[in-house]
Amino acid sequence: MKLYRALLHLYPSSYRAEYGGEMSGIFAQQLRMANGALAKFGFWIAAFFEVSSNALAVHWQIARRDLGYSFRSLLRSPGFALTAILLITIGIGANAAIFTLADFVLVRPLPFPEPQRLVKVWEKHPGYSFMELSPANYRDFTSAATSFTSLAAHTDIDMNLVGQGEPLRVEGAIVTGNLFSTLRKQPWIGRYFSEQDDRPGATATVLLSYGFWQTEFGGDPAVLGKSVTLDDASYTVVGVMPPDFQFPSRETKFWKTFRFEEENYKDRNDNWIVGIGRLKPGVSADQARTEMELIARRLQSQYPKENEKVGVTVVSLRDEISKQSRLLLLALCGAAICLLVIACANLANLLLVRSLAQQK
């Protein structure tokens, strides 16, 4: 009987207090009338399903009655109802928006394998703590650094897609051939770039984002190997990235390779590419930063004219957000909590005033 009384806890407490004793007595009487172990087992099974279905019906009946009463009460005082709903909406809505942003920026892990090993590499110039790399300095950093399994680079670009109906201006990215192996993100179909795709004279190739593949190419797997025209140049589609891959931004629709020429390495003050690396196992961002600073000082002595005041810094991809932005985001979270507290206090005051008015 202890099991049956525990089963009765599926009912609301008020219903159980009124009818629980009677139901337990009836169940005990019927259980004694069952002959044989098989009959008692079947009776228990039937009792379980009966109590479960009836408890659900009772809960729904009580909830419907309470909702009906609440709705009628709100209709009798629409001003109070609208004010209360507005307070709740403002308090909960602001907190949901701010803490969703905080979760995405500060808490949620990056969508890459071992994201703690991904770092950004920036040049430092007088007055600028974070500046893009020049191709010449990037090449020297890549050849000299030993803290990374790979050091890749990327930059944004806008191009015109033609030959797929109306010409379309789309945002994309130019990347080094080792970017996707650095991020370790597998394509949805096809393959990603290799360092062979990044060499001068290689066949021009392109990767598509999942959304771009769906909207402009109908999600057709046969797009692999086909040519698409971007700014009057033909590119062969070699792969499609998965739906959750949004790098370097949500607006990126395609990726193509740099294919640097010697001309790109002549000007060390031509800063326009962003470095991203994957640390070797056991190497911290601080250790990589120390090594890169040594390399930067060496380049200062080798190229005193161009790199005289050029430094370098390494920051975790997760910590790339500046201290000012992080502080602002935390301040917004605090303000949202204060707003929720104020909304709750105002709602409590409204309920208190209403209850005092109803005492008559």
pLDDT tens-digit readout, 40-85 = 777 678 777 888 888 888 888 888 888 888 778 777 778 778 888 8
Q: Are residues 16 and 158 in the same domain?
A: no
Neighbour tally for 355: CB within 10 Å: 9
Residues 6 and 137 in one domain: no
What does pTM read for this prediction? 0.68
Report the alpha-carbon distance of residue 305 to residue 316 in Å, rounded.
Answer: 30
Tokens of 25: 């007595």
Position 74 in a domain: no
Measured CA to CA, the distance from residue 155 to residue 252 in angstroms comes to 11
Please indicate, yes or no, whether residues 54 and 97 belong to a single structural domain of this protein: no
Domain check: are 129 and 273 in the same one?
A: yes
pLDDT level of residue 290 (50, 70, 90 thresholds):
very high
pLDDT in tens, 196-230: 898 888 889 999 999 999 999 999 999 999 999 99
Average pLDDT over every residue of 246-257: 93
* Overall number of domains in the chain: 3
151 and 120 within one domain: yes
Q: Quick one: pLDDT at residue 179?
A: 94
Looking at this protein, which amino acid is placed at residue 3? L
Same domain, 176 and 311: yes
Confidence of residue 21 (pLDDT cuts 50, 70, 90): confident
More confident site: 297 or 31: 297
Do residue 17 and residue 126 come from a single domain?
no
Q: Which residues of 109-126 are buried (b: 16+ CB within 10 A; e: fewer)?
A: eeebeeeebbbbbbbbee
Query: What are the tens digits of pLDDT across the range 229-238?
Result: 999 899 999 9
Q: What is the mean pLDDT of residues 108-115?
A: 81
Say yes or no: 212 and 341 in one domain: no
Average pLDDT of span 175-199: 92
The amino acid at residue 62 is I
Query: Which pLDDT score, from 0 to 100, does residue 88 have?
Result: 85
**Tell me, what amino acid is at 355?**
S
Going 166 to 171 to 177 to 179, the CA torsion angle's sign is: negative
C-alpha separations of 349 from 75, 85, 88 in Å: 20, 14, 13
Interacting residues of 155 by C-beta distance below 8 A, sequence separation 6+: 132, 173, 174, 272, 273, 274
Average pLDDT over residues 135-159: 95
pLDDT > 90? residue 9: no
Q: Is residue 75 part of a domain?
A: no
The Cα 43–Cα 33 span in angstroms is 10
Indicate whether 285 and 340 sit together in one domain.
no
Phi-psi label, residue 332: left if phi above 0, alpha if psi -120 to 50, beta otherwise: alpha
152 shares its domain with 120: yes
Q: 98 with 119, same domain?
A: no
| Mean local confidence (pLDDT), 298-326 | 83
Q: Give residue 280's domain range.
A: 115-316
**Do 305 and 339 lie in a common domain?**
no
Domain limit, last residue, from 69, 96, 124: 69
Q: Is residue 287 part of a domain?
A: yes
Whether the per-residue pLDDT at 92 is higher than 90: the answer is no
In this prediction, residue 105 has a pLDDT band, given cuts at 50, 70 and 90, of low
- Which pair of structure tokens corresponds to residue 35? 């002959």
Q: Which two tokens stand for residue 221?
A: 């797997």
